[in-house]
Amino acid sequence: MPGPTTALPITIRGLTKKFGSLHALDSVDLDVKSGEFLTLLGPSGSGKTTLLMAIAGFNRPDSGSILFGEKEMILAPPHLREVGMVFQNYALFPHMSVAENVAFPLKLRKIAKAECEQRVEEALNTVQLSELGNRRIDQLSGGQRQRVALARAFVFQPRILLMDEPLSALDKKLREQMQIELKHLHRKLGVTTVYVTHDQREALTMSDRIAVINHGRLQQVDTPEVIYNQPANSFVADFIGESTMLPLKTEENNQLYFDHILVDSVPDQKSSQDWMLVVRPERLFPLSQESIDSDQHLIFKGKVIESVYQGETAFAQVSISEDHQLTVRFGTDASARKFLLEPGDSMELGLNRKDIILIPR
């Protein structure tokens, strides 16, 4: 399957969409690079679909600009935007065969019959459905329907592909398999892709970059590694991955403390804001008898509240002060089993200073 002639970047500036007094999109600026896989990630009602539909041309924003390459698209109707679209419910034509569904965008574009047949065959090959061209849609499994919807979205070689929660109807195992297939397909086609999901693991798995959105505003746009390791604020830290946030006190010399534990220096000494320490459960580790270097580690002492075995990992909730508790996640190999303690037992936890994440409070 040949890729699109050229992938296009998308440049969004000041995009605002109101429904009554609700700002579904609040002055959104976003650059989607040519050929990248960018995921819009946010909770229900955060504005993901509204933003995707604005890019597709299915809703009209109140103000702002959407460029495809150099071309302003904000007033262009959907059919002139030439984007491929995959919907949550697939929106396939039930009375048509698999091949007829995939051929539909080519017929709309009046592509000659022979070329149409060849492109449908290539598209079905790409999504591994070449044997099923004559089947009716209602004779397909969920995963197969999903592949038909995909083939139909890219068969006309769009330069932009938009997907709105395309895997949400599939069970967990198939969803995970399709995530990898979609990633391969994207690499093969090289098409600029904007993908919507509320599933943070899916976003981390698939994306070149993730745009985290809440209440119609972008919170952070960056690679999965940066979003996970350097969240910009408490919303991002909380929404992506598990985390505990501990409020810190700023003492003289700009030193940050949790209780009497010296955590770090204030990262931005010009600002007078308060800071929080974000702790990921898998970055903590239970301490055994042997001592560790306290210059390189923070050490928290506490009492186990709950300890849970989950197969490949286990976790414990540990109370470290009257108001705060930490969750620690650890492996369950033979040497780690001794950390599966009873409620009330004492436990010490280490955190390498390299794993310290500070965010403004």
User: In terms of CB distance, is 58 or 104 closer to ligand ATP?
Assistant: 58
Burial class (CB in 10 A: 0-12, 13-18, 19+), 75: exposed
Rounded Cα–Cα distance for residues 223 and 201 (Å): 13
Pick the binder of ligand ATP from 38, 41, 50, 221 (CB under 6 A).
50
Q: Give the x/- contact pattern for ligand ATP in 8-27, rule: CB under 6 A.
A: -----------x--x-x---
Rounded Cα–Cα distance for residues 176 and 206 (Å): 10
Stretch that binds ligand ATP, among 47-55, 240-248, 258-266, 352-360 (CB under 6 A): 47-55
CB of 20 to ligand ATP, least distance (A): 7
User: In terms of CB distance, is 8 or 25 closer to ligand ATP?
Assistant: 25
Tokens 């079905």 sit at which residue?
A: 124
Pick the binder of ligand ATP from 46, 146, 157, 307 (CB under 6 A).
46
Stretch that binds ligand ATP, among 7-15, 48-56, 132-140, 182-190 (CB under 6 A): 48-56
Dihedral sign of CA atoms 235, 238, 241, 244 in order: positive
CB of 54 to ligand ATP, least distance (A): 9
User: In terms of CB distance, is 3 or 45 closer to ligand ATP?
Assistant: 45
Scan residues 146-205 and list those touching ligand ATP (CB under 6 A): 198
User: In terms of CB distance, is 19 or 309 closer to ligand ATP?
Assistant: 19
Pick the binder of ligand ATP from 45, 64, 143, 190 (CB under 6 A).
45
Please work out the total of residues on this chain that contact ligand ATP, with binding judged by CB under 6 A. Answer: 12
Residues that bind ligand ATP (CB under 6 A): 19, 22, 24, 42, 44-50, 198
